[in-house]
Every structure is written in structure tokens, then in C-alpha cells.
Structure 1
């Protein structure tokens, strides 16, 4: 009986440690729900109106990552197109616009390859492209036309955590902040038929919140 504790100790010492992956050479794929929440601000849109306001939107988010070391990784964020209602203070919604904000991140993962929880921080660059810009009946009724939104480059920051279910599957939650500054361009036509071109400096700077699952290979 006295030998039993010694046998258990030797067995525990020789047993392989559990590896939950997130180690050098791993590819990480994540998918889930991502909500973009703009923190918008702009110059006054037209005389007698306020600044732009932009609605939230939720889409399918996808990330593709690669572990350079056990603690350093890179990640590309993608998603299905986000569609936002655009309004003006004192008027209401006047337009819709779609956008895609792919972001390339460098990440640092805390813990090690045996850690079931892997929190991480990231920083990188965001490129946002806008398309399908269109005034609705309210905007057109106000004499507005020719809407366009310039694409944007900016800084992106990220924080997240993976919970590893086994060596392949994980649950993920993460948040991004993106620096998005753009110019919104359009034409207004008054009652006399006079046309004026406008360019309104606009800040979006959204937070994006994602919750989903991931697979490592």
C-alpha cells in the first residue's frame, strides 16, 4: 500500500499534458454574430438640420487567424455586408448605405498552449469600403441626390477571449474599435432648381461586438 502514492506520482509525472492548441503553426477560423455600433459625429448636414446619425446592424462575422508563435498571432476580420440607416437630426432617416470593414490585426495571446482560456489583445489596420448608397423617399423628397461615401483607412484595436472546448473547438467573444473617418458627398436642389454640391466630414468610429465559435487546425 505504501507504494501506491509513489506509483500515482510517477504516473502523473509521465502523463502528457493536455494541449488545447493555440500554438505555433495553428490556423484559427471563427464565425458568429457581429454587431457594428457606430459612434458617429459630423458637421451640420444642411442649414437648419443637425449632424448625421447611423443605425446599428448585425451580420455574420468571420475571422481567419494564424499563430506565428504560441503567443503571437495575426487575424483577418471579414463579414457579410452591413446595412445602415442614415438619418439627420430634425428630419429622420434619409438614406441607407452598406459597408464592409475588413481589418488585419497583430495579436498577443496570454497563457500558453495548455491554457483552456486564451484572452488576447490586438492592434492593426482597418479598411472600410462603402457601397449601395441611396437616398430614400424622405431624402429624395427633400431634394437630395447623388449620394456617395468615401472609403476609409484607419487604426483598429481589439480585445477578446477564446474558451477551448477541446483541441479543435472553441467559443469566442471579442470586441473591436475602428477609426473610420469619411466624407459624405451629395447634391441638394432647392425649390428654384438651384443645385449645390456638399461634402460633409463624418466620423463613425464604431465598436464591433462578436460572439461565436471557432475551429483550430
Structure 2
């Protein structure tokens, strides 16, 4: 009887298998806030510009190549940023999508209920629906697409065998050249930090 009690106690205390093992597909979704962190650049003859924060729905899909190594694709609904010009307030709005492909390393093992991870990869950002407002209402504004590197750190915490809570931090190297009415290009380094909090599910 004592042996049975010990076995039951061991089973109750043993960590349950978590999602992160070779062959698993992990889907995460939640709110992601993008906060531009770079130098906004300066419009010739007008002054520096500043790109504002925005929050959208973000999602990632990861595939585990091994228990510790995986690849991940980041997507999101379009981000919409207001652009301020010093002394003039908001003068433009711009939308963008920043899909990123990451190689990831997960710490711990497939039995761990908490799996911190880090990742690094490439980001492609394309801008669209640029338009002038207020002082630049009616102006033709264009922002060029951008290739750059990206890095992330995150943590998954098990709720049950399939569901988990996720939190992650992203950094993206995003540079674009902005033109107004075909004039001189203004190089803008957005370099945003992204913070994502949400839920994940294992398939």
C-alpha cells in the first residue's frame, strides 16, 4: 500500500508533457504593440518627423524541428501610424505590414511547463496607403519597402496539454525612404520594439 501511495504522489508531482517537442506546430495570437524606436529623419526645410505607436492583432506560427529548435513566421493585421512633423503636429498617416521569419531556440525540454525562447531572423516591411493630413492634406507621400534583421525573446507557460500563455518582445530593423510630392527622399529609421501578449495552441 505504501508503494502505491508513493507512485500516486510521484504521478501527481511529475510535470505533464508540454507542447514543445519535435514535429509540433505552435500557433500564437494576441495584442502586439509596435513602438518606433529609431531616428525619424528630417524633412528638408521643415524639421524632424516622429512616428507614433500602434497596437494590432498579431499572430505567429512555429514549427519545431527538434525539441529545442524551431522556425517561426510572424504576421499581423496592418499597423497604422500617425506621423508628426515638429511644430506642425500630425501631417501624415501610413500603414505597414512587417512579416518576419525567425530561427528559434527553446530552453528546457519537452516536459517543461515553462519554455523561454530566443530567436533571430529577417524582416520584410512594406508600406501602403500613405496619405498626407492637416498641413500636408492632398500631398502625395511614398514610403519605400524595407529589408532588415529581427530578434525576439519570449516565454510560453502551459495551461494544459494544448493551451499556453505567451509573452514576447521583438526588435526589427526597419529603414524606409519617404518622399513628398516626388521631392527629396528623407531616410527614416523606424526600428520598432514590439510587445506581444496572448494565447497559444499546440497542433
* Equivalent residues of 1:106, 1:122 under 8 A apart: yes
Map of 1:107-146 to 2, 5 A cutoff?
Answer: 107-140=104-137, 145-146=139-140
State the shift of 1:46 in Å: 2.7
Q: CA–CA distance in 1 between the matches of 2:15 and 2:134?
A: 64
Q: CA–CA distance in 2 between the matches of 1:17 and 1:164?
A: 11
Q: CA–CA distance in 2 between the matches of 1:43 and 1:57?
A: 19
Q: CA–CA distance in 2 between the matches of 1:175 and 1:154?
A: 17
State the shift of 1:137 in Å: 2.9
State the shift of 1:18 in Å: 2.0
* Equivalent residues of 2:25, 2:62 under 8 A apart: yes
Q: Report the 3-state secondary structure (helix = DSSP H, G, I; strand = E; otherwise coil) of the residue aligned with 1:35.
A: strand
Correspondence 1:100 to 2:97: yes
2:33 corresponds in structure 1 to 35
* Equivalent residues of 2:16, 2:113 under 8 A apart: no
Count of aligned pairs: 202
TM-score, normalised with respect to structure 1: 0.87
* Equivalent residues of 1:34, 1:59 under 8 A apart: yes
2:178 to 173, 184, 190: 184
Kindly name which structure, 1 or 2, has the bigger radius of gyration based on alpha carbons. Answer: 1
1:171 to 165, 168, 172: 165
* Equivalent residues of 1:34, 1:58 under 8 A apart: yes
* Equivalent residues of 2:15, 2:113 under 8 A apart: no
2:69 corresponds in structure 1 to 72
Q: CA RMSD in A?
A: 1.9
2:44 corresponds in structure 1 to 46
State the shift of 1:51 in Å: 1.3
State the shift of 1:42 in Å: 3.7
TM-score, normalised with respect to structure 2: 0.93
Q: Report the 3-state secondary structure (helix = DSSP H, G, I; strand = E; otherwise coil) of the residue aligned with 1:112.
A: coil
1:19 corresponds in structure 2 to 17
Q: Deviations over 1:19-78 (max 9, x none)?
A: 11210000001110000000131432031x321101100110011111111111111000
Correspondence 1:55 to 2:52: yes
Q: CA–CA distance in 2 between the matches of 1:9 and 1:208?
A: 47
* Equivalent residues of 2:35, 2:193 under 8 A apart: yes
